[in-house]
Amino acid sequence: MWLRTSCELTFDIYVPTPFILMLRPRSGYHQWIAREEYKIKPSVPVYEFTDIYGNLCQRLVAPPGPFSVHTSADVMTADYIDRSPGAPFVEVQNLPDTVLSYLLPSRYCESEKFTDMASAITSGYQMGYDQVWAIETWLRASISYIPGSSEIPISAVEVNQRQSGVCRDLSHLGIALCRSLSIPARLVVGYLYELSPMDLHAWFEAYVGGRWYTFDATQTELTGGYVAIGYGRDAADVAVSNQFGPPVYPISQHIEVQLIEQEPD
């Protein structure tokens, strides 16, 4: 399906503030970007680099005063999410080198603390896809998804204590559980068509059967319409906006995802 995504972030800046933004979705196997806009007001020098996970990141210094970033894209993405029950566990020795860093514990995914819990949740399931599916199902049933309930990322251990969280929190717990079973897992930040309430979204991917598969415990049923902006080990790596210096928060954030009937001409 073709989607038109839009993200507008507005800030009120007091001192010149360095930003690292991650707001440019990349074309790749999963999605194709046919049109893209990236506007910054006021206009300041920006330059772009590719981070260690392959994300396109933009660096700039926001001047004092109102500052806004508006990105928009027309994206072809899959109508349906691939499900692959039975896809086998990949033994660590057979994982591609580039996937190995997604096995390690990270800031918000203390995977080394979840071994027993993951074994319990996935007990009786075939190793691989089915284990991750069991984890996703368990998350959906056990951790309340409460959009907007937290601003600041909390870690998998804390999510498990609270038994509730935002999309990012459920993903962090899912990732920690996967990694504790030696299944590589990573966080994805992006858009989801018909997400309600509409916002930026986060989900996770697990590497089984020789490729990455999408999982999302916040949705009762997985539909298509996912647009990835960034990938990383957890939310520390894939903030769409990182500011440095005195804290600065968006004074407004406006997200839209529309279906567009056919390829824009």
Q: Could you tell me if 7 and 254 are in contact, meaning their C-beta atoms sit under 8 angstroms apart?
A: yes
Shortest distance, position 17 Cβ to its own copies, whole Å:
9
CB of 11 to its own copies, least distance (A): 16
Q: Classify 63 as helix, strand or coil.
A: coil
DSSP, collapsed to helix, strand or coil, labels residue 6 as strand
Q: Which is nearer to its own copies, 54 or 86 (CB)?
A: 54
List b or e across 169-183, with b for residues whose CB sees 16 or more CB atoms inside 10 angstroms: bbbbbbbbbbbbbbb
Residue number, 81 or 127, with CB nearest to its own copies: 127
Assigned token pair, 119: 């074994």
Crossing angle of helices 167-180 and 129-142, rounded to 10°: 140
> 65 or 264, CB closer to its own copies?
264
Q: Which is nearer to its own copies, 79 or 265 (CB)?
A: 265
For its own copies, which is the closer residue by CB, 26 or 140? Answer: 26
Question: At closest approach, how far in Å is the CB of 115 from its own copies?
Answer: 9
3-state helix, strand, coil in the chain (%, to 5): 20, 40, 40
Shortest separation between residue 46's beta carbon and its own copies, angstroms: 5
Tokens at 109, concatenated: 């995914």
Residue corresponding to tokens 């994982």: 95
- Smallest separation, CB 179 to its own copies (Å): 10
**Binding residues for its own copies (CB under 8 A):** 18, 20, 26-29, 32-39, 43, 45-52, 54, 56, 58-61, 76, 91-93, 97, 100-101, 103-107, 110, 112, 152, 182, 236-237, 242, 244-245, 263-265
